[in-house]
Amino acid sequence: MGNTIKPNTLAKNPESPKRHDHYSDRTLRSILSSVRSIALVGASTQWRRPSYYAMKYLQRKGYKVYPINPLRAGQEVLGEVIHPRICEVPSSIDMVDIFRNSEAALDISKEVIANKDDKGTQVLWMQLGVRNDTAAKLAEEAGLTVIMNRCPKIEFARLSGELGWYGINSKIITSKRLRGPHHD
Amino acid sequence: MINRPKILNKGIEKHDEHPDESHGIETLSVHAGARVDPATGSRSTPIYQTTSFVFDDSEHAAELFNLQTFGYIYSRISNPTVSVLEERIAALEGGRGAVAAATGHAAQFLTAATLLEQGDAFISSSNLYGGSITQFGTSFPKLGWTCHFVDGTDPHSFEAAMNKNVKFIFCESLANPGSVICDLEPLSDIAHRHGVPLIVDNTLATPYLCRPIDWGADLVIHSATKFIGGHGNTMGGVTVESGRFDWFQNDKFPGLTKPDDAYHGITFAETFGDFGFTMKMRSVALRDFGPTMAATAAWNLLQGVETLPLRMERHCSNALAVAEYLNAHPKIGWVSYAGLRTSPYFELGKKYLRKGAGAVFTFGLTGGYEAGKNLVNSVELFSHLANVGDTRSLIIHPASTTHRQLTEEQKIAAGAGPDVIRVSIGIETLDDIIADLKQALTNT
Ligand SMILES: Cc1ncc(COP(=O)(O)O)c(C=O)c1O
C-alpha cells in the first residue's frame, strides 16, 4: 500500500545511494515473523485510504496494530482506539510503521528513538514511498533495524505467495513448500 | 519497562546492500511463479478447473471484494493456474506484474481500455501485425480511441505525431512480418518526455531475445499464442507492467490516479503503488469486459514456456541458415531478416536482439506474386497457415491472408506487399527445412 508514490521525492542521502535500496527476503521474513505489535503512524479512519487497507490486512494476519494520529485521537478504527502519540500507547510496540511523508518521518523517528526502551521497539519501518536517510541513520545508531520504502502488507503478501495470485512478480524461486512469515 | 526476548533471529543481515542473486532466464522459464501445491505437494502446476473459490466467512468475502486482502474469488478475474503463467511472464520480462487474457488481441484491448478515455489517442508504429493495425485503426475508433500510425523505423515521426490527447506509444520490438526492429531507446525517451508510457509488443522477440523494459518500455504485451506457448496449440495474451512509470506525474491517467467509480472510489496507483496498473487492468478491465484466459490454456502455455530458451536458440539458428540459403538462391529477389548483414536492421539487431534475430521473416521471389503463390502450394514439410511461433515451420502469403484487410499502401507500409512471403522457421532438422524449400523452389 503506497503513499502517493513519487520515487524522485524520496529524501535519499546522496552520500550513500545504494544503502537501503534493497533488503533480502531473509531480513524481511525475519522481521515479519517475529514482530507482533505494530504502531501505525498516520492511521486513517477512511476505509479507502491505503493505511486503512494495510491495517486491516495486518490485523487479519495476526498482528496487534495500534493506530496513531494526533488529529484523530480518541476515534476508533478497525476496533482500535487511535492514540495521539507513540508514548501514549499503553503496551509494548515491536515495530513502528510510518505512513507519513518522507519529511515527517524524521520527527517521528526521533519520537520512536526516545520511546524505544520504554516500548521495547526494535524495528522502524517506513512505508512504500517514504524514505529518510537521516532518520534511518539516527535510528540505526540507536540500535533499531530500519526498513524504508516498503509496505509490510505487500512484503507479507509477497513472501507468502499471495501477491503472485494477482500476477505480481514475487521474485521467489523455490522447490520447497512456501510458507508465509506467520508467527510460529 | 518491558523485558522481552530479542525479536530478530540470529543471522539476519541487518542491511542488505546487494540484491538477491537473480536467476537466469532458463531457470525463470521453468520455475518463476510456480509453487509446490500447498495442499498436495504437487510439483507440476495443477489445472485449477474451477469457476469460483470459497470464502472463509462474510467478512473475508467483503475484504476480497474490497481488494483489502489477497485471494481468489472467481476465475474471470483470477485463477491459480493462470496466475502462475502471469507471474512467470512478469519474471521473464523483468516486470512487476502481469495480467493474462484470452488472446494477444484481448491483452491489447484491455491495456488500451485501462489507459484510454473516450476522445483519447495513441501513436503506433505502422510496422505491426496486420490484425493489430485493423484493431487499432478500425475497431478502436468505434470506442472513441484514435490511433495515429507513423513510420516505426523513424523515431522523429513519433515525436511529430505527439499531441495532448496522446496517452501512449505502441510498437513491436521485432515486427511481424518483415523482421523490422524498432529502436526502443529513442522511442522510450520521446514517450517519457511527453509523460506517456511506451508499450511494446514483444511477441516475436520473446524475453529470451529482448527485454523491452531494460530499454525503457513501461508495458510489454505478448500474444502468448506464438513463441511463449510455442507449439501452435493454445491462444493467449499477457500484459506486463514494469512498475517504473509514475502515473501521478501529470493528469493524463485519471483512471489510475483519481478515485475510481468502477471500484468504489479506490485510487489504483496510490493504493497499489508500482503494480497499480496491473491491479486496475485485472479488477476493472478484465472483470468488466471478460476476455479471460482459461486455466487449461494457461497450463498449456506454462508447459510451452518452460522450453522457451531452448526453442528460441534453435528457431534462431535454423532461421538464420534458411535466410542465408534463400538469400543465395537465384529465384529469390530479396530476403528481409535482421540476422543477415545485408538487412538495414542488422545493427539494431546487434543491440536489441543479441542472441538472434528471431524466426519470422519475409522474402520475395523474382517471379513475383504468381511464383510466391506456387511456392506456398508446393511446400510439403512447411504448413500453410496463419500463425507464427510454432515448433513447425510455417509459410504464408500475408497480402492475401493476415494482412488482407489492409489497403495496398498499408500493406506495403507493414512490409506485406503483393510479392511478400512470410515464414516462421520451426525447430525441425535444418537440412529437412532447406530440402523442402529447395524442392518447392524447383517447382516454381
Ligand atoms: C505480433 C503480434 N501481436 C499480436 C498478435 C495477436 O495475438 P492473438 O492472435 O493471440 O490475439 C499477433 C498474432 O498473430 C502477433 O503476431
In chain B, % of residues over pLDDT 90: 84
Domain ranges, ordered by start, for chain A:
18-153
As a whole number, mean pLDDT of residues A28-45 equals 96
Using CA of residue B251, residue B219, residue B343, residue B444, what is the dihedral sign? negative
Is the per-residue pLDDT at A14 higher than 70? no
Chain B interface, mutation test: which of A145, A147, A168, A182, most B Cβ atoms within 10 Å?
A168
As a whole number, mean pLDDT of residues A32-55 equals 94
Average model confidence (pLDDT) across chain B? 93
Does the distance separating the beta carbons of B72 and A122 come in below 8 Å?
Answer: no
Is the per-residue pLDDT at A2 higher than 90? no
For residue B312, the distance in angstroms to the closest alpha carbon of chain A comes to 23
Is the per-residue pLDDT at A180 higher than 90? no
Q: What is the pLDDT of residue B16?
A: 46
Which among A2, A24, A162 has the least Cβ separation from residue B273? A2
Is the per-residue pLDDT at B21 higher than 70? no
B6 is written with which cell numbers?
A: 530479542
Enter the CATH code of domain A18-153: 3.40.50.720
SS3 B194: coil
In chain B, % of residues over pLDDT 70: 95
Is the per-residue pLDDT at B5 higher than 70? no
CATH of B25-304, one of 3.40.630.30, 3.80.10.10, 3.40.640.10, 3.40.50.2300: 3.40.640.10
Q: What is the pLDDT of residue B3?
A: 35
Domain ranges, ordered by start, for chain B:
25-304, 310-442
Is the per-residue pLDDT at A67 higher than 90? yes
pLDDT in tens, A134-179: 999 999 999 999 999 999 999 999 999 999 999 999 999 999 999 8
As a whole number, mean pLDDT of residues B334-362 equals 97
Does the distance separating the beta carbons of A34 and B273 come in below 8 Å?
Answer: no
For residue B354, the distance in angstroms to the closest alpha carbon of chain A comes to 25
CA distance B355 to B209: 6
Is the per-residue pLDDT at A66 higher than 70? yes
Contact list in A for residue B13 (CB cut-off 8 A) is: 24, 26-27
> Candidates B108, B129, B206: which one to mutate for ligand 1, based on the most atoms within 8 Å of Cβ?
B129
Ligand 1 close to Cβ of residue B75 (< 6 A)? no
Is the per-residue pLDDT at A184 higher than 60? no
Q: What is the pLDDT of residue A1?
A: 52
For residue A129, the distance in angstroms to the closest alpha carbon of chain B comes to 9
The three-state (H, E, C) secondary structure of chain A, written as one string: CECCCCHHHCECCCCCCCCCCCCCHHHHHHHHHHCCEEEEECCCCCCCCHHHHHHHHHHHCCCEEEEECHHHCCCEECCEECECCHHHCCCCCCEEEECCCCCHHHHHHHHHHHHHHHHCCCEEEECECCCEHHHHHHHHHCCCEEECCCCHHHHHHHHCCCHHHHCECCCCCCCCCCCCCCCC
Instruction: Report ipTM for this prediction.
Output: 0.90
Print burial letters for A147-169: b (CB count within 10 Å at least 16), e (below 16): bbbbbbbbbbbbbbbbbbbbbbb
As a whole number, mean pLDDT of residues B7-19 equals 41
Chain A interface, mutation test: which of B270, B287, B293, B302, most A Cβ atoms within 10 Å?
B270
Report which ligand 1 atom has the smallest distance to the Cα of B105: 11
Ligand 1 close to Cβ of residue B223 (< 6 A)? yes
> Poorest-confidence range of A164-168, B285-289, B364-368?
B364-368
Q: What is the pLDDT of residue B189?
A: 98
Does the distance separating the beta carbons of B97 and A166 come in below 8 Å?
Answer: yes
Does the distance separating the beta carbons of B271 and A50 come in below 8 Å?
Answer: yes
Is the per-residue pLDDT at B211 higher than 70? yes
CA of B270 to the centre of ligand 1 (A): 32
Is the per-residue pLDDT at A12 higher than 70? no
In chain A, % of residues over pLDDT 70: 89
For residue A118, the distance in angstroms to the closest alpha carbon of chain B comes to 5
Q: What is the pLDDT of residue B427?
A: 98
Is the per-residue pLDDT at B9 higher than 80? no
Is the per-residue pLDDT at A5 higher than 50? no
CATH topology of domain B310-442: Aspartate Aminotransferase, domain 1 (3.90.1150)
Which among A7, A47, A166 has the least Cβ separation from residue B282? A166
**pLDDT grade, residue B408 (50/70/90)?**
confident
Is the per-residue pLDDT at A16 higher than 60? no
Does the distance separating the beta carbons of A117 and B1 come in below 8 Å?
Answer: yes
Is the per-residue pLDDT at B224 higher than 90? yes
pLDDT in tens, B305-323: 999 999 999 999 999 999 9
Q: What is the pLDDT of residue B11?
A: 34
Which residue CA neighbors atom 15 of ligand 1 most closely? Answer: B129
**pLDDT grade, residue B14 (50/70/90)?**
very low
Ligand 1 close to Cβ of residue B104 (< 6 A)? yes
Q: What is the pLDDT of residue B12?
A: 37
Contact list in B for residue A27 (CB cut-off 8 A) is: 12-14, 16
